[in-house]
């Protein structure tokens, strides 16, 4: 392990994949990451204060030139060598307050890569948990229960049938959102290649949705999607409840994959130390080169 | 308009420099006024007495210089000010003071080292070591505003209240702001605790030494916490006293945080009030930590907090140690399992 801070600092750039716990904002997580990195860097061997040349004495006679230790460069006077405002960090996907899971941060020049990943609109996979039988005012478990209903009649096959219908309608929408005329030759060429991304970055599109766990009244749904946001997913659970002739609210949201980054790559908050972060940067760099995630997207094909 | 203002500032600045130079010259040559008078009256004579401008100057005038201009930070003064040099030698973090209390730095710069020497010797005599003195000055640079006589009176008050020397040095070392309060204020604050919790003199000394920051902590916040424990958590007055004696720090936590932890412990983990009073330090941990560890134990089927039944998990050992020790010794599992579990939340 290299202990010299400038060497470490030179390598400290790129994309890092962290695990975001629920009930913590992304902004707060970013501040904590910056704080941890700066703290770790200042504990390494930092640059010692540089001496300065002092010219003293009577200018009309002989001046004495001497090299003195410079107190103006001492860490106790100018502050620590690595300061929090000097470290640029930005996120490439935004997860809401209640969502946990994979989150990508760009550090230093990695902010550029983070921007490319964001503009590439990679697909994300969520595991969303819900409970049948109760509707809350904000559709999440934190809200007030406003309605109760029976749920015994909802079986696994009911849910699966509804979800596959929903997936089919979304795939139809996907071609409509591509920005080309559906009757044209270009549309045919696009459709031939498989799944495509929407031209608009605001409208959520679901590519795949299925029920992975059904233990009534609890259920877990896996969603592959683009352009989604937290309230959209929460509303989706509410809607599923209504369509199944019952009610439902969401209990937890977890992002398990973002482009090629999975939960196993994500770094837990307690593991944020300089050696772990450097290792994570290298792993993420490898994944990015395999995915070709550096370059801005040119065509609309999904991955 | 801006140009005019700038010009005005420049002239003001140069005027100030000139006045300061004049003052320093006056100090050096007390009879300078006399000279000016003479030269005014006898101009011809002056021409003869004064050396020509072309002759080399042998006198040292390098001490006549302009004021230091407003700087970006205190580092510009560090090589010139003896006070800062001595404080840095002591280990005081000037940068931290500048960041948190910028106005205190101007105060320090105005002081000469002789002004603060007395304070440092005073703290040393109280039994504080260098790191404690630097911690005190870094956190409370305003301590130099208090005169030595005042500090002496405040220490005498503590000794009068039967605090031993060790107790006093612990109090001053742990709570940098203690000595900035007047004797009357400290007396009121100690009285507040004695009255609210019906403490004996010995118990008051015990909490003052165990958690010196609590005594000078914002009393409104302490009152809010007392209300939360009494009315919202239903602790009896004797419970409150026991918690104070065992874990005085609890009264300095935020009310919201305290309630969140309590709610999780009491409502979800079904821990009784008596158990919490027995180990009040479990209330100091955040709800997040309690929840993570409790859910892991639930998943393994080891959530058994009743000491009369087998496979009992002690509340304090559950939250106290780091994740590795918890996973292997309390949960009888492995750290990797626990980490994977955390990612599944």
Domain ranges of chain B: 74-145, 146-216, 218-277, 285-345
Mean pLDDT for the stretch of residues B144-156: 93
For B76-96, write each residue's pLDDT tens digit.
888 888 899 999 999 999 999
For B14-57, write each residue's pLDDT tens digit.
444 444 454 455 555 555 445 445 445 545 555 567 777 787 77
CA–CA distance from B62 to each of A8, A59, A72, B66, B68 (Å)?
Answer: 45, 7, 22, 11, 15
**A25, A67, A76, A266: best mutation site toward chain B, by most B Cβ within 10 Å?**
A76
In chain A, pLDDT over 70 holds for what percent of residues?
Answer: 96
Q: Give the mean pLDDT of chain B.
A: 84
Rg of chain B taking only CA atoms, in angstroms = 32
Which residue of chain B has the CA closest to A60?
B58
Task: For residue A188, give every residue at least 6 positions away whose Cβ sits within 8 Å of its Cβ, in sequence order, or none.
Answer: none
Q: How would residue A303 be classed by pLDDT, with cut points 50, 70 and 90?
A: very low
In chain B, pLDDT over 70 holds for what percent of residues?
Answer: 83
For A24-65, write each residue's pLDDT tens digit.
999 999 999 999 999 999 999 999 999 999 888 777 778 899
Which residue of chain B has the CA closest to A58?
B60
Q: How would residue A302 be classed by pLDDT, with cut points 50, 70 and 90?
A: low
pLDDT score of A117 more than 90: no
pLDDT at position B5 is: 46
The alpha-carbon gap from B158 to the nearest alpha carbon of chain A, in Å, equals 33
Q: How would residue A174 be classed by pLDDT, with cut points 50, 70 and 90?
A: confident
φ/ψ of residue A204, rounded to 5 = -70, 140
pLDDT at position A292 is: 67
The domains found in chain A, sorted by start residue, are 5-47+67-117+263-291 (no CATH), 123-258 (3.30.2350.10)
In chain B, pLDDT over 90 holds for what percent of residues?
Answer: 60
pLDDT score of B202 more than 80: yes
pLDDT at position A301 is: 63
Q: Chain A contacts of B75, Cβ < 8 Å?
A: 71-73, 77-78
Closest CA to A222 of A251, A254, A194: A254
Contact between A102 and A255 under an 8 Å Cβ cutoff? The reply is yes
Q: How would residue B6 be classed by pLDDT, with cut points 50, 70 and 90?
A: very low
Which residue of chain B has the CA closest to A99?
B345
Return d(Cα B345, Cα A74) in angstroms, integer.
Answer: 45
pLDDT at position A147 is: 93
Express the helix, strand and coil content of chain B in percent, nearest 5 each. 70, 0, 30
Under DSSP, the state recorded for B265 is I
Secondary structure of chain A in HEC code, one letter for each residue: CCCEHHHHHHHCCEEEEEEECCCCCHHHHHHHHHHHHHHHHHHCECCCCCCEEEEEECCCCCEEEEEECCHHHCHHHHCCCCCHHHCCEEECCCCCCCEEEEEEEEECCHHHHHHHHHHHCCCEEEEEEEEECEEECCCECCCCEEEECCCCCCCHHHHHHHHHHHHHHHHHHHHHCCCCCCCCHHHHHHHHCCCECCCCCCCCEEEEEEEEEEECCEEEEEEEEECCCHHHHHHHHHHHHHHCCCCEEEEEEEEEEECCEEHHHCECHHHCCHHHHHHHHHHHHHHHHHHCCCCCCCCCECC
For A129-165, write each residue's pLDDT tens digit.
999 999 999 999 999 999 999 999 999 999 999 999 9
Q: Which residue has the higher pLDDT, A282 or A59?
A: A282
Residues of B with CB under 8 A from a CB of A: 56-62, 73-76, 78-79, 84-85, 88, 91-96, 98-99, 288, 323, 339, 342-345
Q: Which residue has the higher pLDDT, B56 or B1?
A: B56
Mean pLDDT for the stretch of residues B157-179: 93
β-strand partners of A18: A103, A267
Task: For residue A46, give every residue at least 6 positions away whose Cβ sits within 8 Å of its Cβ, in sequence order, or none.
Answer: A5, A75, A80, A81, A82
Q: How many CB pairs under 8 A join A and B?
A: 67
Across A2-6, A46-50, A87-91, A150-154, least confident range: A2-6
Contact between B171 and B209 under an 8 Å Cβ cutoff? The reply is yes
Contact between B225 and B258 under an 8 Å Cβ cutoff? The reply is yes
Q: Chain A contacts of B288, Cβ < 8 Å?
A: 21, 23
Contact between A133 and A150 under an 8 Å Cβ cutoff? The reply is yes
Q: How would residue A5 be classed by pLDDT, with cut points 50, 70 and 90?
A: very high
Residue with tokens 């930092």: A46
Q: How would residue B68 be classed by pLDDT, with cut points 50, 70 and 90?
A: low
Which residue among B57, B61, B75 sits closest to A78, beta carbon to beta carbon? B75
Mean pLDDT for the stretch of residues B274-282: 91
Q: How would residue A172 be classed by pLDDT, with cut points 50, 70 and 90?
A: confident
Mean pLDDT for the stretch of residues B252-264: 93
pLDDT score of A279 more than 50: yes
Mean pLDDT for the stretch of residues A98-115: 93
Mean pLDDT for the stretch of residues B66-78: 78
Neighbours of A65 (CB within 10 A): 9
| B88/A74 Cβ within 8 A | yes
Which residue among A70, A78, A100 sits closest to B95, beta carbon to beta carbon? A78
pLDDT score of B287 more than 90: yes
Return d(Cα B48, Cα B38) in angstroms, integer.
Answer: 13
pLDDT at position B19 is: 45
Q: Which residue has the higher pLDDT, A220 or B110?
A: A220
pLDDT at position B10 is: 45
For B321-343, write each residue's pLDDT tens digit.
888 899 998 888 999 999 999 99
Contact between B122 and B153 under an 8 Å Cβ cutoff? The reply is no
pLDDT score of B11 more than 70: no
């Amino acid at each position: 392990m290299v202990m010299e801070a400038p060497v470490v600092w030179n390598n400290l750039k790129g994309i890092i994949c962290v695990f975001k716990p629920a009930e913590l904002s992304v902004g707060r997580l970013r501040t904590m990451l910056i704080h941890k990195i700066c703290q770790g860097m200042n504990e390494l061997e930092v640059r010692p204060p540089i001496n300065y040349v002092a010219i003293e004495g009577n200018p009309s006679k002989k001046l004495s030139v001497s090299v003195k230790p410079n107190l103006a460069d001492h860490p106790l006077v100018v502050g620590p060598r690595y300061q929090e405002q000097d470290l640029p960090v930005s996120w490439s996907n935004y997860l809401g307050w209640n969502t946990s899971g994979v989150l990508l941060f760009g550090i230093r020049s990695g902010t550029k890569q983070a921007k490319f990943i964001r503009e590439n609109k990679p697909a994300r996979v969520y595991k969303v948990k819900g409970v049948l039988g109760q509707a809350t005012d904000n559709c999440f478990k934190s809200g007030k229960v406003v309605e109760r209903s029976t749920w015994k009649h909802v079986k696994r096959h009911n849910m699966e049938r509804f979800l596959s219908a929903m997936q089919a309608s979304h795939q139809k929408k996907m071609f409509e959102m591509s920005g080309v005329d559906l009757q044209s030759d270009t549309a045919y060429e696009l459709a031939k290649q498989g799944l495509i991304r929407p031209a608009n970055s605001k409208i959520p599109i679901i590519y795949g949705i299925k029920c992975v766990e059904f233990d009534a009244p609890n259920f877990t749904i896996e969603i592959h999607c683009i352009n989604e946001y937290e309230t959209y997913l929460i509303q989706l659970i509410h809607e599923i409840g209504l369509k199944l002739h019952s009610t439902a609210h969401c209990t937890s949201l977890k992002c398990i994959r973002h482009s090629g980054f999975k939960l196993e790559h994500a770094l837990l908050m307690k593991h944020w130390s300089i050696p772990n972060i450097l290792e994570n940067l290298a792993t993420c760099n490898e994944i990015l080169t395999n995915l070709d995630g550096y370059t801005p997207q040119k065509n609309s094909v999904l991955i | 308009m801006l140009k005019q203002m700038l010009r005005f500032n420049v002239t003001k600045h140069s005027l100030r420099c000139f006045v300061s130079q004049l003052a320093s010259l006056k100090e050096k040559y007390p009879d300078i006024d006399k000279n000016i008078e003479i030269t005014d009256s006898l101009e011809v004579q002056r021409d003869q007495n004064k050396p020509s401008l072309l002759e080399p100057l042998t006198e040292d005038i390098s001490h006549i210089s302009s004021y230091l201009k407003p700087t970006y930070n205190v580092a510009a003064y560090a090589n010139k000010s003896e006070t800062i040099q001595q404080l840095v030698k002591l280990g005081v973090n000037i940068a931290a003071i500048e960041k948190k209390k910028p106005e205190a730095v101007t105060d320090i710069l105005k002081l000469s080292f002789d002004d603060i020497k007395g304070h440092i010797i005073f703290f040393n005599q109280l039994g504080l070591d260098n790191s404690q003195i630097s911690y005190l000055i870094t956190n409370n640079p305003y301590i130099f505003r208090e005169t030595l006589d005042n500090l002496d009176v405040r220490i005498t008050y503590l000794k009068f209240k039967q605090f031993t020397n060790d107790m006093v040095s612990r109090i001053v070392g742990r709570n940098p702001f203690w000595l900035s309060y007047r004797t009357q204020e400290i007396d009121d604050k100690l009285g507040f605790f004695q009255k609210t919790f019906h403490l004996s003199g010995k118990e008051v000394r015990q909490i003052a030494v165990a958690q010196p920051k609590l005594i000078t902590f914002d009393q409104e916040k302490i009152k809010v916490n007392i209300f939360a424990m009494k009315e919202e958590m239903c602790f009896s007055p004797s419970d409150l006293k026991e918690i104070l004696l065992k874990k005085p720090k609890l009264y300095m936590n935020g009310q919201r945080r305290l309630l969140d932890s309590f709610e999780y412990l009491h409502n979800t983990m079904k821990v009784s009030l008596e158990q919490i009073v027995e180990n009040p330090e479990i209330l100091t941990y955040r709800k997040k930590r309690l929840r993570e560890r409790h859910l892991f134990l639930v998943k393994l089927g080891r959530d058994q907090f009743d000491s009369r039944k087998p496979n009992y998990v002690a509340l304090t050992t559950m939250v106290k140690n780091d994740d590795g020790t918890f996973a292997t010794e309390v949960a009888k599992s492995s750290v990797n399992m626990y980490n994977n579990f955390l990612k599944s939340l």
